[in-house]
Structures are given as structure tokens and as C-alpha cells.
Amino acid sequence: MFSLGDMLSFLPKLLHGAGVTITVSIVSYVLAAVVGLVFGVARMTRFWPARAVATAYIQLIRGTPLLLQLFFIYYVLPYGGVVLSPLVAGVLGLTINYGAYMAEVFRSGIQAIPREQWEAARSLGMSRRLLMRRVVLPQAIRIVIPALGNFFISIFKDSALVSVISMRDLMFTGELLASATFKYFEIFTLVAIIYFVISYPVAKLVDYVERKFDISRGRMELVRT
């Protein structure tokens, strides 16, 4: 039978799990953005070994599911002597996975810069490195900001997958409470509410940023395939 009192009694533990989820999401997002920028630029470099490595990384990660990657990091790497805690494994898995997708976002943003600007900068004697830092990247980042914001929402929701490697995030905490009390309706309703309460303001913030930068929603095709 539904019990509001039971729901309130479960709330503190679920909020603690939500704190872990938020921490993992933020750390993974920041690291994935850095990885994505590095590999996105590497995919466009004239140095072919770097371009080949970046292409292989992106294709491999995008061609395998996140769940498999988490299993590999947490359960397979120990056979090679690399033992990671659930927290580190979860952050690493999300970073590697989303870094590949963000790399393509950054690459698309860079390619969206008109060629005339590249040629004008070169005519002023700018090196390719200076051109990227002063002209291309500031504009490319402005273009991809809405997509990057949407990625945070995706990371926050996909972080529920780290529960499979026993990390005590929101989802794993909910599963433990449900298995111990059999209050599945109350607990998973609360879990859903908490996910929504956190992700909805972030979604609204992304919409605000998109309007602030005056970027059309349909300008770039940046949906995960």
C-alpha cells in the first residue's frame, strides 16, 4: 500500500545517492569536455598519427555501448592489474564514452566556421595553432554550447548505469532500499522525481544559454546515433 511516510523516510538515503550522482556527472562532464576538445582538434590535424588515433578512439567508443565499456573498465582491467574503485571506474567510463561524442561536436563546430575566416587569418601570417586559438575555437565553442549543455543532461541520466558496478549512486541506493523493503513503488517514484527535479532546471538553463547565444536549435545535427 502506498505510504507517504515511507517515502519521506527513504528520502535522506536517496538524496545522499543523488549527491554521488551529481558529483560523478559533473566530474565526468568536465573531463569529457576536455577529452572531446583534444580529440576533436586531433581529428582535423595534419599530423596523421594523431588523426588516426583520434579517429580510431571515436569510432571504437561510438561503436560499443556504454554499459559494455563500464563492465570492461571495472571487471576486465583487473585481469591486467588495473583495479579501480567503482567511483573512479564510473567517472572514467562516462568520460571516455562522452568524450568521443563531444569530439564530434567540437569537430562539427570547427567545420562550421566559414573558410573565408581561415584564409583571412592565414593572410595575416597567423600560424595554424594561433589561428585555432584566436579565431576558430572561440567561435566553435560558442556554436556548440547548447549541444554541450544537452550532453550534461544525458550524462546525468546515463550515470544511472554506474549502478551495475556497485557504485552507490541514486539508482543503486534505490535498488538496495527496494530489495530490502519491497517498497518498489514508493522508492522508484522518488528516484524518478529526484532525477526530474535535478535535470529539469538544467534543461531550462540550456534553453536560456541557447537563446543567450542566439543559436538556432536546428543549426547543427548533433544527435547521438
For residues 79 and 138, which has the higher predicted lDDT (pLDDT)? 79
The pLDDT assigned to 224 comes to 38
The pLDDT assigned to 216 comes to 45
170-222 pLDDT, tens digit per residue, is 898 989 998 888 888 888 989 999 999 998 888 888 788 777 765 444 444 44
142-177 pLDDT, tens digit per residue, is 888 878 888 888 999 898 888 888 888 889 898 999
Quote the mean pLDDT of the chain: 85
The pLDDT assigned to 166 comes to 80
pLDDT at 79 over 90: yes
The pLDDT assigned to 215 comes to 47
For residues 58 and 223, which has the higher predicted lDDT (pLDDT)? 58
- Single-letter residue type at 47: F
Chain-centre distance for alpha carbon 139: 21
Provide the phi-psi class of 166: left if phi over 0, else alpha when psi is between -120 and 50, else beta.
Answer: left
For residues 56 and 216, which has the higher predicted lDDT (pLDDT)? 56
Mean pLDDT of 33-60: 92
Q: Look at domain 4-212 and name its CATH class.
A: mainly alpha
What are the residues whose beta carbons fall under 8 Å from the beta carbon of 87, sequence distance 6 or more? 20, 24, 167
Give whole-number Cα distances, 70 to 40, 79, 89, in Å.
Answer: 23, 15, 7
The pLDDT assigned to 4 comes to 66
Where along the chain do its domains lie? 4-212
Q: How confident is the model at residue 46 (pLDDT cuts 50, 70, 90)?
A: confident
The pLDDT assigned to 71 comes to 94
pLDDT at 29 over 60: yes
Name the pTM for this structure.
0.84
For residues 90 and 209, which has the higher predicted lDDT (pLDDT)? 90
Lowest pLDDT segment from 23-32, 61-70, 154-163: 154-163
The pLDDT assigned to 22 comes to 92
